[in-house]
Amino acid sequence: MKKNAYLLMVVPAVLLYTVFVAYPFISSIFLSFFDWPGIGPKKYVGLANYKTILFGYMQPEFLRSITHNAIFFVWSWILSILPGLFFAFCLYAGLKGTNLFKVIFFFPNVISIVVVGFLFSLLLNPQWGLINALLKAVGLKAWAKPWLGEIKYAFPTIIGVTQWRGLGFYILVFLAAMIGVNKDEVEAARLDGASEFRIGWSIIVPHLLPTIMTLTILKFIWTFNIFDIVYAMEGSQGGPAGSTDVLGTLFYRIAFGGLGSSEVGMGLGAAVVTIIFAVVFPVSLLYVFIIDRRMEGKA
């Protein structure tokens, strides 16, 4: 017994994790097979909730939401990875003031998403908001749109705001990865007469591919779980006309009810969650696998 006493040291972690993370997830999946308004008896309904979401009257809403998540992922990726690389190179150049820029770029990332969403809702007000006021001031009145009110613009606007907050993270991750590239390789290429641009493109970027891979996975997980920013800027209805509805807001509406008289269906909500889970989990496992391999590599 004494020999294995050290195992006791993992007990707190395992206990907490099981009670507050693992068990709730299993329980959520379990709940998805019931009809339950949150109070009173639970009614077992088998796969009825899933049928409703995937094939029944909720199908249009569900397909619309998941499509939006996918669009969010694609655009968010393009707007994070490409500018991220670009600005990381700008910082890698090592000009004076680089450290200050690093801090400034990361600033928005430490501000709560709710605050960011709220702040930008105000900046985007069509009549008095700063953004439209600025556009009008420089003579671009035609571009002063009601950003969060038009079907064409609302979702891209939310994606844009998310980038404002998150770009710094990508810039700095890339920068750290670039710095990790073997300096000798870089010097050798320079001696061979390659331009700085060639060096960047042919030597440094290939080294960044694993990082890009990891970031892609993280972004996938993150964009499919998105909720806070949409909720903060458009509420739980995913307006206008459902154009910003994502799986997260769909879940929130169903599980906790929107404003007014919507029904509260926790079993149905659990089904939505389980579906999100089913989509995201395999990709997340990939991430876990990569981390695990890295661990084993260090054994």
Residues 53-92 that bind other proteins (CB under 8 A): 57, 86-87, 89-92
Tell me which stretch binds other proteins (CB under 8 A): 43-51, 65-73, 74-82, 259-267. Answer: 259-267
297 binds other proteins (CB under 8 A): no
Distance CA 107, CA 151 (A): 30
Q: Which of 66, 88, 230, 273 binds other proteins (CB under 8 A)?
A: 273
3-class DSSP state of 266: helix
CB 267 within 8 A of CB 31: yes
Which tokens go with 86?
């670009």
Site for other proteins in 156-175 (CB under 8 A): 164, 167-169, 172-173
CB of 203 to other proteins, least distance (A): 12
Site string for other proteins, 118-137 (x = CB under 8 A): xxxxxxxxxxxxx-xx----
Q: Is 201 in the site for other proteins (CB under 8 A)?
A: no
Count how many Cα atoms sit within 13 Å of the Cα of residue 13 in the half-sphere of its side chain: 4
Instruction: Specify the stretch interacting with other proteins by CB under 8 A; choose among 43-51, 73-81, 233-241.
Output: 233-241
d(CA 65, CA 249): 9
> Considering only residues 137-156, where is the footprint of other proteins by CB under 8 A?
144-151
Helix ranges, 124-204 (H)? 130-137, 151-179, 183-191, 196-198
E strand residue ranges, the chain: 34-35, 43-44
- Minimal distance, residue 75 CB to other proteins, in Å: 18
